[in-house]
Structure 1
Amino acid sequence: MDSFAIITNHHKEAQSFRKQFPPSSNQFPTSEQVEQIKQAGLIDAYQLITDPAFLDVSFYSFDQVVFSASDQDRTCISRCPLMPLPGHVYCYFEAEVVMPDDLPLDAAISIGLVANPYPLFRLAGADPSSTSYVRNGEILSNGTFMRRGLPTFTTRTTVGCGYDPELGLVFFTNNGRLVSYFLCPDQRAYHAAVSANQPCVLQVNFGMNPFCYNLKDELMARMVDKPPSYDAAMSQPQ
Protein backbone atom coordinates (compact mmCIF):
# COMPACT_ATOMS: atom_id res chain seq x y z
CA MET A 1 0.00 0.00 0.00
CA ASP A 2 1.44 3.34 -1.08
CA SER A 3 0.96 5.86 1.74
CA PHE A 4 2.18 8.72 -0.43
CA ALA A 5 -0.38 7.92 -3.13
CA ILE A 6 -3.20 7.96 -0.57
CA ILE A 7 -2.42 11.61 0.16
CA THR A 8 -1.62 12.74 -3.38
CA ASN A 9 -4.27 10.91 -5.47
CA HIS A 10 -6.72 13.46 -6.92
CA HIS A 11 -5.31 16.13 -4.61
CA LYS A 12 -6.05 19.03 -6.97
CA GLU A 13 -9.57 17.82 -7.61
CA ALA A 14 -10.11 17.61 -3.84
CA GLN A 15 -8.90 21.19 -3.39
CA SER A 16 -11.38 22.38 -6.00
CA PHE A 17 -14.13 20.35 -4.33
CA ARG A 18 -13.45 21.94 -0.92
CA LYS A 19 -13.56 25.44 -2.38
CA GLN A 20 -16.90 24.73 -4.01
CA PHE A 21 -18.33 22.68 -1.14
CA PRO A 22 -16.69 23.67 2.18
CA PRO A 23 -17.43 21.20 5.00
CA SER A 24 -19.85 22.09 7.75
CA SER A 25 -18.23 23.92 10.67
CA ASN A 26 -20.85 22.81 13.21
CA GLN A 27 -19.37 21.16 16.29
CA PHE A 28 -22.61 19.28 16.92
CA PRO A 29 -25.47 18.10 14.70
CA THR A 30 -27.98 20.87 14.09
CA SER A 31 -31.39 20.72 15.76
CA GLU A 32 -32.85 19.78 12.37
CA GLN A 33 -30.37 16.91 12.02
CA VAL A 34 -31.09 15.69 15.57
CA GLU A 35 -34.80 15.64 14.81
CA GLN A 36 -34.14 13.88 11.50
CA ILE A 37 -32.11 11.19 13.26
CA LYS A 38 -34.79 10.68 15.89
CA GLN A 39 -37.55 10.42 13.31
CA ALA A 40 -35.60 8.24 10.88
CA GLY A 41 -34.29 5.80 13.45
CA LEU A 42 -30.84 4.23 13.63
CA ILE A 43 -30.99 2.21 10.41
CA ASP A 44 -32.17 5.00 8.11
CA ALA A 45 -30.18 7.81 9.77
CA TYR A 46 -26.86 5.97 9.55
CA GLN A 47 -27.40 4.25 6.25
CA LEU A 48 -24.19 4.43 4.24
CA ILE A 49 -24.25 6.53 1.09
CA THR A 50 -21.72 7.46 -1.59
CA ASP A 51 -21.53 9.32 -4.89
CA PRO A 52 -24.30 7.91 -7.15
CA ALA A 53 -21.81 8.08 -10.02
CA PHE A 54 -19.69 5.37 -8.38
CA LEU A 55 -21.00 2.29 -10.15
CA ASP A 56 -18.22 0.28 -8.49
CA VAL A 57 -19.73 0.71 -4.99
CA SER A 58 -22.90 -1.10 -3.96
CA PHE A 59 -24.81 -1.89 -0.79
CA TYR A 60 -25.79 -5.49 -0.19
CA SER A 61 -27.83 -4.50 2.84
CA PHE A 62 -28.14 -1.58 5.25
CA ASP A 63 -24.91 -2.55 6.98
CA GLN A 64 -22.80 -4.09 4.20
CA VAL A 65 -20.89 -2.16 1.54
CA VAL A 66 -19.25 -3.78 -1.49
CA PHE A 67 -16.28 -2.03 -3.10
CA SER A 68 -15.56 -3.34 -6.61
CA ALA A 69 -13.08 -0.80 -7.99
CA SER A 70 -9.41 -1.56 -8.50
CA ASP A 71 -6.96 1.27 -7.74
CA GLN A 72 -9.77 3.79 -7.31
CA ASP A 73 -10.26 5.54 -3.95
CA ARG A 74 -13.87 5.32 -2.80
CA THR A 75 -15.51 6.50 0.43
CA CYS A 76 -18.95 5.88 1.89
CA ILE A 77 -20.35 7.97 4.74
CA SER A 78 -23.33 7.77 7.08
CA ARG A 79 -26.34 9.71 5.86
CA CYS A 80 -26.49 11.74 9.10
CA PRO A 81 -23.73 12.90 11.47
CA LEU A 82 -23.04 10.64 14.43
CA MET A 83 -24.64 11.21 17.81
CA PRO A 84 -23.57 9.68 21.15
CA LEU A 85 -24.95 6.22 21.76
CA PRO A 86 -27.71 5.93 24.36
CA GLY A 87 -26.17 6.01 27.84
CA HIS A 88 -22.76 7.10 26.54
CA VAL A 89 -20.94 10.33 25.79
CA TYR A 90 -19.27 8.73 22.76
CA CYS A 91 -20.31 8.28 19.16
CA TYR A 92 -19.00 4.88 18.09
CA PHE A 93 -19.24 2.37 15.26
CA GLU A 94 -17.33 -0.68 14.07
CA ALA A 95 -16.54 -2.11 10.65
CA GLU A 96 -15.41 -5.65 9.90
CA VAL A 97 -13.55 -6.64 6.73
CA VAL A 98 -15.51 -9.74 5.71
CA MET A 99 -14.19 -10.40 2.18
CA PRO A 100 -12.06 -11.39 0.35
CA ASP A 101 -10.08 -14.08 2.13
CA ASP A 102 -6.99 -13.13 0.12
CA LEU A 103 -7.05 -9.34 0.56
CA PRO A 104 -4.15 -7.95 -1.53
CA LEU A 105 -1.27 -6.45 0.42
CA ASP A 106 -1.57 -3.19 -1.52
CA ALA A 107 -5.27 -2.77 -0.68
CA ALA A 108 -5.90 0.43 1.26
CA ILE A 109 -8.84 0.43 3.67
CA SER A 110 -9.52 3.30 6.05
CA ILE A 111 -12.19 3.63 8.71
CA GLY A 112 -12.92 6.87 10.52
CA LEU A 113 -14.70 10.22 10.52
CA VAL A 114 -15.30 12.95 7.95
CA ALA A 115 -17.08 16.30 7.93
CA ASN A 116 -19.67 16.56 5.18
CA PRO A 117 -19.48 17.49 2.31
CA TYR A 118 -16.41 15.33 1.69
CA PRO A 119 -14.69 14.42 -1.61
CA LEU A 120 -15.79 10.79 -1.78
CA PHE A 121 -13.13 10.05 -4.42
CA ARG A 122 -10.54 10.35 -1.62
CA LEU A 123 -9.96 7.98 1.31
CA ALA A 124 -11.18 9.08 4.73
CA GLY A 125 -8.35 10.97 6.47
CA ALA A 126 -6.73 12.17 3.26
CA ASP A 127 -8.42 15.59 3.37
CA PRO A 128 -8.93 18.29 6.02
CA SER A 129 -11.67 17.72 8.59
CA SER A 130 -11.26 13.95 8.51
CA THR A 131 -9.37 11.28 10.40
CA SER A 132 -9.03 7.52 9.95
CA TYR A 133 -7.29 4.31 10.96
CA VAL A 134 -5.64 2.84 7.86
CA ARG A 135 -5.17 -0.84 7.19
CA ASN A 136 -1.35 -0.69 7.38
CA GLY A 137 -1.44 0.47 11.02
CA GLU A 138 -1.30 4.23 10.50
CA ILE A 139 -3.53 7.07 11.66
CA LEU A 140 -4.27 9.41 8.76
CA SER A 141 -5.67 12.75 9.89
CA ASN A 142 -6.27 15.93 7.90
CA GLY A 143 -4.05 14.67 5.08
CA THR A 144 -1.10 13.73 7.31
CA PHE A 145 0.05 10.38 8.64
CA MET A 146 0.33 11.30 12.31
CA ARG A 147 1.06 7.95 13.89
CA ARG A 148 2.46 4.63 12.72
CA GLY A 149 3.11 1.27 14.32
CA LEU A 150 -0.47 0.40 15.29
CA PRO A 151 -1.77 -3.12 14.67
CA THR A 152 -2.52 -3.72 11.01
CA PHE A 153 -5.85 -5.16 9.96
CA THR A 154 -7.09 -7.50 7.27
CA THR A 155 -10.00 -9.84 6.54
CA ARG A 156 -12.04 -10.79 9.64
CA THR A 157 -10.61 -7.85 11.61
CA THR A 158 -13.09 -5.53 13.32
CA VAL A 159 -12.00 -1.89 13.55
CA GLY A 160 -13.85 0.59 15.76
CA CYS A 161 -13.92 4.39 15.66
CA GLY A 162 -15.24 6.62 18.43
CA TYR A 163 -15.63 10.33 19.03
CA ASP A 164 -16.59 12.47 22.01
CA PRO A 165 -18.03 15.68 20.54
CA GLU A 166 -17.77 17.52 23.86
CA LEU A 167 -14.03 16.89 24.33
CA GLY A 168 -12.99 16.37 20.72
CA LEU A 169 -11.60 12.96 21.70
CA VAL A 170 -11.06 10.51 18.84
CA PHE A 171 -10.21 6.86 19.48
CA PHE A 172 -9.74 3.67 17.48
CA THR A 173 -10.01 0.00 18.38
CA ASN A 174 -8.84 -3.24 16.76
CA ASN A 175 -10.72 -6.48 17.54
CA GLY A 176 -12.05 -5.04 20.77
CA ARG A 177 -8.78 -3.49 21.97
CA LEU A 178 -8.13 0.24 22.28
CA VAL A 179 -5.11 1.07 20.09
CA SER A 180 -5.07 4.88 19.79
CA TYR A 181 -6.76 7.97 21.23
CA PHE A 182 -6.05 11.69 21.04
CA LEU A 183 -7.70 15.11 21.19
CA CYS A 184 -8.67 16.38 17.75
CA PRO A 185 -8.35 20.17 17.25
CA ASP A 186 -10.99 20.20 14.52
CA GLN A 187 -14.24 19.48 16.37
CA ARG A 188 -17.07 18.88 13.92
CA ALA A 189 -20.37 17.08 13.56
CA TYR A 190 -18.64 14.08 11.99
CA HIS A 191 -20.10 11.37 9.81
CA ALA A 192 -18.91 7.77 9.96
CA ALA A 193 -16.76 6.86 6.95
CA VAL A 194 -15.38 3.67 5.40
CA SER A 195 -13.04 3.72 2.42
CA ALA A 196 -11.24 1.30 0.12
CA ASN A 197 -9.28 1.30 -3.13
CA GLN A 198 -9.50 -2.43 -3.96
CA PRO A 199 -12.36 -4.95 -4.11
CA CYS A 200 -13.57 -5.88 -0.63
CA VAL A 201 -16.69 -6.12 1.52
CA LEU A 202 -17.14 -4.30 4.84
CA GLN A 203 -19.81 -4.99 7.45
CA VAL A 204 -20.66 -1.91 9.53
CA ASN A 205 -22.22 -1.94 13.00
CA PHE A 206 -23.72 1.21 14.52
CA GLY A 207 -25.02 -0.60 17.58
CA MET A 208 -27.60 -2.90 16.02
CA ASN A 209 -25.41 -5.79 17.23
CA PRO A 210 -23.07 -6.06 20.25
CA PHE A 211 -19.75 -4.29 19.75
CA CYS A 212 -16.40 -6.06 20.01
CA TYR A 213 -15.19 -3.19 22.18
CA ASN A 214 -16.53 -2.54 25.68
CA LEU A 215 -17.19 1.19 25.49
CA LYS A 216 -17.96 1.75 29.13
CA ASP A 217 -15.09 0.08 30.96
CA GLU A 218 -11.75 0.22 29.19
CA LEU A 219 -11.85 3.72 27.70
CA MET A 220 -13.02 5.27 30.96
CA ALA A 221 -10.12 3.55 32.74
CA ARG A 222 -7.71 4.95 30.16
CA MET A 223 -9.15 8.45 30.63
CA VAL A 224 -7.78 8.74 34.17
CA ASP A 225 -4.85 10.44 32.45
CA LYS A 226 -5.47 13.30 30.04
CA PRO A 227 -5.37 12.04 26.45
CA PRO A 228 -2.56 13.33 24.24
CA SER A 229 -3.22 16.47 22.26
CA TYR A 230 -3.23 16.33 18.48
CA ASP A 231 0.22 17.99 18.38
CA ALA A 232 1.58 15.51 20.92
CA ALA A 233 0.18 12.60 18.93
CA MET A 234 1.77 14.05 15.79
CA SER A 235 5.17 14.14 17.50
CA GLN A 236 5.08 10.54 18.77
CA PRO A 237 7.87 8.33 17.40
CA GLN A 238 6.97 7.00 13.96
Structure 2
Amino acid sequence: MADDSTAKGILIGLLSAFGSAGVVAIILVAVWFFQYTPTGRIFLDRIGRPGEYDDEQAFLREEAEALEVMDDIQRMEYNRAKAFVQANPPESVQTDISLSQFLAIQEKGVSAWEFEPELEIANCFVEGRTEIEFFDAECTVQSNLPIPKQNEVYYWEAKIYDKPDSTMVSVGLTTKPYPLFRLPGMHKHSIAYGCDGARRHNQPFNPTPYGPEFLQGDVIGIGYRPRSGTIFFTRNGKKLDDVAHGLKTQNFFPTVGANGPCRVHVNFGQLGFVFIEANVKKWGLAPASGSLAPPPPYGSEQGSILLEGGRENDRNSGVPHVLTGPYHYSHGRTNSNQLRLGTR
Protein backbone atom coordinates (compact mmCIF):
# COMPACT_ATOMS: atom_id res chain seq x y z
CA MET A 1 0.00 0.00 0.00
CA ALA A 2 2.92 2.30 0.74
CA ASP A 3 4.29 1.62 -2.74
CA ASP A 4 0.89 2.37 -4.31
CA SER A 5 0.66 5.69 -2.46
CA THR A 6 4.16 6.63 -3.56
CA ALA A 7 3.34 5.79 -7.17
CA LYS A 8 0.16 7.82 -7.08
CA GLY A 9 2.01 10.74 -5.56
CA ILE A 10 4.64 10.61 -8.30
CA LEU A 11 1.92 10.40 -10.98
CA ILE A 12 0.03 13.36 -9.58
CA GLY A 13 3.25 15.35 -9.36
CA LEU A 14 4.12 14.59 -12.98
CA LEU A 15 0.61 15.53 -14.16
CA SER A 16 0.73 18.76 -12.21
CA ALA A 17 4.12 19.59 -13.68
CA PHE A 18 3.01 18.84 -17.23
CA GLY A 19 -0.21 20.81 -16.67
CA SER A 20 1.65 23.84 -15.41
CA ALA A 21 4.09 23.58 -18.29
CA GLY A 22 1.20 23.40 -20.73
CA VAL A 23 -0.41 26.54 -19.33
CA VAL A 24 2.91 28.38 -19.52
CA ALA A 25 3.39 27.20 -23.10
CA ILE A 26 -0.06 28.44 -24.12
CA ILE A 27 0.65 31.85 -22.60
CA LEU A 28 4.01 32.09 -24.38
CA VAL A 29 2.44 31.13 -27.73
CA ALA A 30 -0.27 33.77 -27.28
CA VAL A 31 2.30 36.45 -26.45
CA TRP A 32 4.40 35.48 -29.46
CA PHE A 33 1.38 35.48 -31.76
CA PHE A 34 0.16 38.95 -30.82
CA GLN A 35 3.62 40.51 -30.64
CA TYR A 36 5.42 39.05 -33.61
CA THR A 37 2.81 38.09 -36.21
CA PRO A 38 1.80 40.80 -38.69
CA THR A 39 -1.58 42.31 -37.93
CA GLY A 40 -4.11 43.15 -40.59
CA ARG A 41 -7.84 42.72 -40.27
CA ILE A 42 -10.29 41.47 -37.74
CA PHE A 43 -13.21 39.23 -38.62
CA LEU A 44 -16.61 40.69 -37.91
CA ASP A 45 -18.51 37.67 -39.14
CA ARG A 46 -17.57 34.15 -40.07
CA ILE A 47 -14.05 33.11 -41.06
CA GLY A 48 -13.06 34.47 -44.45
CA ARG A 49 -15.12 37.64 -44.28
CA PRO A 50 -12.79 40.54 -43.44
CA GLY A 51 -14.01 43.58 -41.61
CA GLU A 52 -12.51 46.89 -40.59
CA TYR A 53 -8.81 47.36 -39.96
CA ASP A 54 -7.39 46.57 -36.55
CA ASP A 55 -4.24 48.66 -36.91
CA GLU A 56 -3.16 51.78 -38.70
CA GLN A 57 -0.18 50.20 -40.43
CA ALA A 58 -2.33 47.71 -42.32
CA PHE A 59 -4.61 50.52 -43.46
CA LEU A 60 -1.68 52.61 -44.63
CA ARG A 61 -0.27 49.68 -46.64
CA GLU A 62 -3.54 49.12 -48.47
CA GLU A 63 -4.02 52.87 -48.93
CA ALA A 64 -0.62 53.15 -50.63
CA GLU A 65 -1.42 50.24 -52.94
CA ALA A 66 -4.83 51.69 -53.84
CA LEU A 67 -3.51 55.20 -54.52
CA GLU A 68 -1.06 53.79 -57.06
CA VAL A 69 -3.84 52.42 -59.26
CA MET A 70 -6.31 55.33 -58.86
CA ASP A 71 -6.67 57.89 -61.61
CA ASP A 72 -6.22 61.58 -60.85
CA ILE A 73 -9.91 62.23 -60.16
CA GLN A 74 -10.28 59.23 -57.86
CA ARG A 75 -7.13 60.19 -55.99
CA MET A 76 -8.33 63.77 -55.59
CA GLU A 77 -11.75 62.69 -54.29
CA TYR A 78 -10.21 60.24 -51.84
CA ASN A 79 -7.80 62.84 -50.47
CA ARG A 80 -10.64 65.34 -50.22
CA ALA A 81 -12.69 62.86 -48.19
CA LYS A 82 -9.70 61.96 -46.02
CA ALA A 83 -9.16 65.63 -45.21
CA PHE A 84 -12.86 66.02 -44.38
CA VAL A 85 -12.81 63.07 -41.98
CA GLN A 86 -9.68 64.36 -40.27
CA ALA A 87 -11.24 67.80 -39.83
CA ASN A 88 -14.64 66.37 -38.86
CA PRO A 89 -14.12 63.11 -36.97
CA PRO A 90 -17.06 60.67 -36.92
CA GLU A 91 -19.51 61.40 -34.10
CA SER A 92 -17.76 64.65 -33.22
CA VAL A 93 -21.16 66.36 -33.14
CA GLN A 94 -24.07 65.68 -30.80
CA THR A 95 -26.54 63.35 -32.54
CA ASP A 96 -28.61 61.93 -29.67
CA ILE A 97 -32.35 62.44 -30.14
CA SER A 98 -33.20 65.64 -28.26
CA LEU A 99 -36.36 66.29 -26.27
CA SER A 100 -37.81 68.44 -29.04
CA GLN A 101 -37.06 65.75 -31.62
CA PHE A 102 -38.61 63.12 -29.35
CA LEU A 103 -41.78 65.20 -29.05
CA ALA A 104 -41.83 65.69 -32.83
CA ILE A 105 -41.68 61.91 -33.27
CA GLN A 106 -44.57 61.50 -30.82
CA GLU A 107 -46.63 64.02 -32.80
CA LYS A 108 -45.72 63.04 -36.35
CA GLY A 109 -44.87 59.36 -36.03
CA VAL A 110 -42.66 58.05 -38.79
CA SER A 111 -43.25 61.27 -40.75
CA ALA A 112 -40.70 62.93 -38.46
CA TRP A 113 -37.94 61.31 -40.54
CA GLU A 114 -36.92 62.93 -43.80
CA PHE A 115 -33.84 63.26 -45.97
CA GLU A 116 -31.79 66.44 -45.94
CA PRO A 117 -29.54 67.02 -48.99
CA GLU A 118 -26.38 69.04 -48.59
CA LEU A 119 -27.05 72.27 -50.47
CA GLU A 120 -23.37 72.85 -51.25
CA ILE A 121 -23.18 69.56 -53.14
CA ALA A 122 -26.45 70.05 -55.04
CA ASN A 123 -26.20 66.73 -56.91
CA CYS A 124 -29.50 65.40 -55.62
CA PHE A 125 -32.99 66.61 -54.82
CA VAL A 126 -35.51 65.42 -52.20
CA GLU A 127 -39.24 65.64 -52.75
CA GLY A 128 -41.94 64.67 -50.30
CA ARG A 129 -39.41 63.97 -47.51
CA THR A 130 -38.36 60.51 -48.76
CA GLU A 131 -38.23 60.61 -52.57
CA ILE A 132 -34.64 61.20 -53.65
CA GLU A 133 -33.52 62.06 -57.18
CA PHE A 134 -29.82 61.87 -58.01
CA PHE A 135 -28.18 63.60 -60.94
CA ASP A 136 -24.83 63.23 -62.68
CA ALA A 137 -22.27 63.23 -59.84
CA GLU A 138 -21.53 61.34 -56.65
CA CYS A 139 -23.84 62.36 -53.84
CA THR A 140 -25.08 60.95 -50.52
CA VAL A 141 -28.03 62.01 -48.35
CA GLN A 142 -28.70 61.23 -44.70
CA SER A 143 -31.91 61.35 -42.71
CA ASN A 144 -32.48 64.22 -40.30
CA LEU A 145 -32.92 61.86 -37.31
CA PRO A 146 -30.93 58.80 -36.25
CA ILE A 147 -32.41 55.36 -35.71
CA PRO A 148 -33.82 55.08 -32.16
CA LYS A 149 -32.57 52.45 -29.73
CA GLN A 150 -35.61 51.59 -27.63
CA ASN A 151 -36.96 48.64 -29.60
CA GLU A 152 -35.39 45.29 -30.44
CA VAL A 153 -35.20 45.90 -34.20
CA TYR A 154 -35.61 48.88 -36.55
CA TYR A 155 -36.01 48.49 -40.30
CA TRP A 156 -36.49 50.57 -43.46
CA GLU A 157 -36.52 49.95 -47.21
CA ALA A 158 -35.45 51.74 -50.39
CA LYS A 159 -36.90 51.08 -53.86
CA ILE A 160 -34.76 51.83 -56.91
CA TYR A 161 -36.27 53.68 -59.89
CA ASP A 162 -34.89 54.89 -63.24
CA LYS A 163 -31.39 53.52 -62.69
CA PRO A 164 -29.11 53.19 -65.73
CA ASP A 165 -26.63 50.32 -65.68
CA SER A 166 -23.76 52.77 -65.26
CA THR A 167 -25.12 54.28 -62.03
CA MET A 168 -23.79 52.92 -58.73
CA VAL A 169 -26.31 53.03 -55.87
CA SER A 170 -25.42 52.29 -52.24
CA VAL A 171 -27.90 51.96 -49.38
CA GLY A 172 -26.89 51.75 -45.74
CA LEU A 173 -26.17 53.50 -42.46
CA THR A 174 -23.70 56.25 -41.56
CA THR A 175 -22.82 58.42 -38.59
CA LYS A 176 -22.47 62.19 -38.65
CA PRO A 177 -20.49 64.06 -39.84
CA TYR A 178 -19.94 62.13 -43.09
CA PRO A 179 -18.39 63.30 -46.39
CA LEU A 180 -21.59 63.49 -48.44
CA PHE A 181 -19.68 63.70 -51.73
CA ARG A 182 -18.73 60.03 -51.16
CA LEU A 183 -20.93 56.93 -51.15
CA PRO A 184 -21.85 55.34 -47.81
CA GLY A 185 -19.66 52.50 -46.56
CA MET A 186 -16.36 54.09 -47.55
CA HIS A 187 -15.48 55.91 -44.33
CA LYS A 188 -15.89 55.46 -40.58
CA HIS A 189 -18.40 54.74 -39.24
CA SER A 190 -20.56 53.55 -42.13
CA ILE A 191 -21.81 50.40 -43.78
CA ALA A 192 -23.58 49.91 -47.11
CA TYR A 193 -24.83 47.38 -49.66
CA GLY A 194 -24.10 48.41 -53.25
CA CYS A 195 -25.91 47.58 -56.47
CA ASP A 196 -22.79 45.68 -57.61
CA GLY A 197 -23.59 43.03 -54.96
CA ALA A 198 -20.74 44.05 -52.64
CA ARG A 199 -20.83 45.52 -49.18
CA ARG A 200 -18.53 48.08 -47.66
CA HIS A 201 -17.85 48.62 -43.96
CA ASN A 202 -15.45 51.51 -43.39
CA GLN A 203 -13.77 50.32 -46.58
CA PRO A 204 -12.76 52.87 -49.27
CA PHE A 205 -10.63 50.46 -51.30
CA ASN A 206 -11.73 46.84 -51.67
CA PRO A 207 -15.42 45.95 -51.24
CA THR A 208 -16.43 42.48 -50.04
CA PRO A 209 -18.77 40.27 -52.13
CA TYR A 210 -22.03 40.03 -50.24
CA GLY A 211 -25.30 39.41 -52.10
CA PRO A 212 -27.02 39.58 -55.49
CA GLU A 213 -26.72 42.69 -57.59
CA PHE A 214 -29.78 44.93 -57.46
CA LEU A 215 -31.33 46.70 -60.41
CA GLN A 216 -34.11 49.12 -61.22
CA GLY A 217 -37.29 48.04 -59.45
CA ASP A 218 -35.55 46.13 -56.65
CA VAL A 219 -36.24 46.89 -52.99
CA ILE A 220 -33.34 46.90 -50.53
CA GLY A 221 -34.03 46.76 -46.79
CA ILE A 222 -31.77 47.59 -43.85
CA GLY A 223 -32.31 46.26 -40.33
CA TYR A 224 -30.57 47.34 -37.14
CA ARG A 225 -30.64 45.58 -33.75
CA PRO A 226 -29.52 48.18 -31.18
CA ARG A 227 -29.03 45.71 -28.30
CA SER A 228 -26.53 43.53 -30.15
CA GLY A 229 -25.34 46.16 -32.62
CA THR A 230 -26.17 43.86 -35.55
CA ILE A 231 -26.90 45.13 -39.06
CA PHE A 232 -28.49 43.09 -41.85
CA PHE A 233 -29.85 43.70 -45.34
CA THR A 234 -32.74 42.31 -47.36
CA ARG A 235 -33.30 42.21 -51.09
CA ASN A 236 -36.85 42.01 -52.47
CA GLY A 237 -38.15 40.69 -49.17
CA LYS A 238 -35.46 38.04 -48.63
CA LYS A 239 -33.10 38.43 -45.69
CA LEU A 240 -29.36 38.26 -46.40
CA ASP A 241 -26.55 37.50 -43.94
CA ASP A 242 -25.75 39.77 -41.03
CA VAL A 243 -22.87 42.06 -41.95
CA ALA A 244 -21.73 43.46 -38.61
CA HIS A 245 -22.06 42.93 -34.88
CA GLY A 246 -21.29 44.97 -31.78
CA LEU A 247 -22.13 48.40 -33.25
CA LYS A 248 -24.10 49.53 -30.21
CA THR A 249 -22.69 52.92 -29.29
CA GLN A 250 -23.05 54.74 -32.62
CA ASN A 251 -26.04 56.82 -33.68
CA PHE A 252 -26.74 55.57 -37.20
CA PHE A 253 -28.61 57.57 -39.83
CA PRO A 254 -30.41 55.95 -42.81
CA THR A 255 -28.33 56.88 -45.85
CA VAL A 256 -28.61 56.58 -49.64
CA GLY A 257 -25.95 57.48 -52.18
CA ALA A 258 -25.47 57.31 -55.96
CA ASN A 259 -22.87 58.44 -58.49
CA GLY A 260 -25.25 59.01 -61.40
CA PRO A 261 -28.88 59.56 -62.36
CA CYS A 262 -31.57 57.53 -60.61
CA ARG A 263 -34.46 57.89 -58.19
CA VAL A 264 -34.84 56.16 -54.83
CA HIS A 265 -38.04 56.10 -52.75
CA VAL A 266 -37.57 55.30 -49.07
CA ASN A 267 -40.14 53.67 -46.78
CA PHE A 268 -39.50 54.27 -43.07
CA GLY A 269 -42.71 52.50 -42.12
CA GLN A 270 -45.31 54.85 -43.56
CA LEU A 271 -46.27 52.01 -45.93
CA GLY A 272 -46.16 48.23 -45.81
CA PHE A 273 -42.74 46.61 -46.20
CA VAL A 274 -41.80 44.04 -48.83
CA PHE A 275 -40.05 42.09 -46.04
CA ILE A 276 -43.09 40.46 -44.40
CA GLU A 277 -41.47 39.82 -41.02
CA ALA A 278 -40.94 43.57 -40.57
CA ASN A 279 -44.68 44.16 -41.04
CA VAL A 280 -45.70 41.42 -38.61
CA LYS A 281 -43.34 42.62 -35.88
CA LYS A 282 -43.79 46.36 -36.61
CA TRP A 283 -40.13 47.13 -37.16
CA GLY A 284 -40.62 50.58 -38.69
CA LEU A 285 -38.74 53.53 -37.22
CA ALA A 286 -41.91 54.76 -35.46
CA PRO A 287 -45.69 54.28 -35.60
CA ALA A 288 -47.16 55.17 -38.97
CA SER A 289 -49.05 58.09 -37.41
CA GLY A 290 -48.48 60.07 -34.24
CA SER A 291 -50.71 62.08 -31.96
CA LEU A 292 -50.90 65.04 -34.34
CA ALA A 293 -54.20 65.00 -36.22
CA PRO A 294 -53.88 64.88 -40.04
CA PRO A 295 -55.02 67.91 -42.08
CA PRO A 296 -58.76 67.98 -42.85
CA PRO A 297 -59.76 66.33 -46.13
CA TYR A 298 -61.14 68.33 -49.01
CA GLY A 299 -64.75 69.37 -48.37
CA SER A 300 -64.54 69.11 -44.59
CA GLU A 301 -65.19 72.85 -44.29
CA GLN A 302 -68.89 72.12 -44.84
CA GLY A 303 -69.31 71.40 -41.14
CA SER A 304 -66.98 74.10 -39.86
CA ILE A 305 -68.57 76.61 -37.52
CA LEU A 306 -65.85 79.11 -38.37
CA LEU A 307 -66.38 78.89 -42.13
CA GLU A 308 -70.16 78.74 -41.85
CA GLY A 309 -69.99 81.93 -39.80
CA GLY A 310 -67.79 83.44 -42.47
CA ARG A 311 -70.25 82.48 -45.19
CA GLU A 312 -73.12 83.97 -43.21
CA ASN A 313 -71.23 87.24 -42.81
CA ASP A 314 -70.37 87.22 -46.51
CA ARG A 315 -74.01 86.75 -47.43
CA ASN A 316 -75.02 89.57 -45.14
CA SER A 317 -72.33 91.90 -46.41
CA GLY A 318 -72.67 91.01 -50.08
CA VAL A 319 -68.98 90.08 -50.37
CA PRO A 320 -68.47 87.16 -52.82
CA HIS A 321 -66.49 84.15 -51.66
CA VAL A 322 -64.33 81.83 -53.71
CA LEU A 323 -62.69 78.46 -53.05
CA THR A 324 -58.93 78.81 -53.60
CA GLY A 325 -57.57 75.36 -52.66
CA PRO A 326 -58.20 72.14 -50.78
CA TYR A 327 -57.69 73.70 -47.37
CA HIS A 328 -58.11 77.42 -48.05
CA TYR A 329 -61.42 79.18 -48.19
CA SER A 330 -61.36 82.84 -49.14
CA HIS A 331 -64.10 85.25 -48.19
CA GLY A 332 -64.45 88.75 -46.78
CA ARG A 333 -61.09 89.44 -45.06
CA THR A 334 -62.48 91.90 -42.53
CA ASN A 335 -65.36 89.67 -41.53
CA SER A 336 -63.22 86.54 -41.13
CA ASN A 337 -60.65 88.41 -39.05
CA GLN A 338 -63.37 89.73 -36.82
CA LEU A 339 -64.85 86.24 -36.43
CA ARG A 340 -61.47 84.71 -35.45
CA LEU A 341 -61.02 87.42 -32.85
CA GLY A 342 -64.56 87.00 -31.54
CA THR A 343 -65.54 90.59 -32.43
CA ARG A 344 -68.13 92.18 -34.61
Does the pair score TM above 0.5? yes
Match of 1:119 in 2: 179
Match of 1:164 in 2: 225
One-letter code aligned to 1:211: F
Q: Is the CA contact (8 Å cut-off) linking 1:65 and 1:201 kept in structure 2?
A: yes
Deviation at 1:178, TM superposition (A): 0.5
Give the greater-gyration-radius structure (CA): 2
Structure 2 residue 256 is matched with structure 1 residue 189 = no
Match of 1:209 in 2: 271
1:89 is paired with a residue of what secondary structure? coil
Equivalent pairs counted in the alignment come to: 209
Deviation at 1:61, TM superposition (A): 1.9
Q: Is the CA contact (8 Å cut-off) linking 1:109 and 1:195 kept in structure 2?
A: yes
The 5-angstrom pairing of residues 70-109 of structure 1 reads: 72-83=137-148, 88-100=151-163, 103-104=164-165, 106-109=166-169
d(CA) in 2 for partners of 1:33, 1:110: 31
Change (3 A) 1:139 1:202: same
Change (3 A) 1:217 1:209: closer
Which structure's residues are more often helix, by fraction? 2
Change (3 A) 1:127 1:96: same
Structure 2 residue 134 is matched with structure 1 residue 67 = yes
The 5-angstrom pairing of residues 15-54 of structure 1 reads: 15-24=82-91, 29-32=96-99, 35=102, 37-38=104-105, 41-42=108-109, 45-54=112-121
Change (3 A) 1:113 1:33: farther
1:182-211 deviation digits (Å, cap 9, x = unpaired): 333443110000000010000000000001
One-letter code aligned to 2:131: Q
2:86 is paired with a residue of what secondary structure? helix
Q: Is the CA contact (8 Å cut-off) linking 1:138 and 1:149 kept in structure 2?
A: yes
Structure 2 residue 194 is matched with structure 1 residue 130 = no
In structure 2, list runs of 5 or more residues that go unmatched: 1-69, 282-344
Match of 2:236 in 1: 175
Please provide the CA RMSD for this pair: 3.0
In structure 1, list runs of 5 or more residues that go unmatched: 220-238
Q: Is the CA contact (8 Å cut-off) linking 1:132 and 1:140 kept in structure 2?
A: yes
d(CA) in 2 for partners of 1:56, 1:141: 24
Identity between Structure 1 and Structure 2 (%): 25
One-letter code aligned to 1:38: I
Normalising to structure 1: TM-score of the pair? 0.77
Which structure's residues are more often strand, by fraction? 1
Deviation at 1:34, TM superposition (A): 5.5
Normalising to structure 2: TM-score of the pair? 0.54
Deviation at 1:37, TM superposition (A): 4.9
One-letter code aligned to 1:113: L
One-letter code aligned to 2:132: V
Q: Is the CA contact (8 Å cut-off) linking 1:111 and 1:133 kept in structure 2?
A: yes
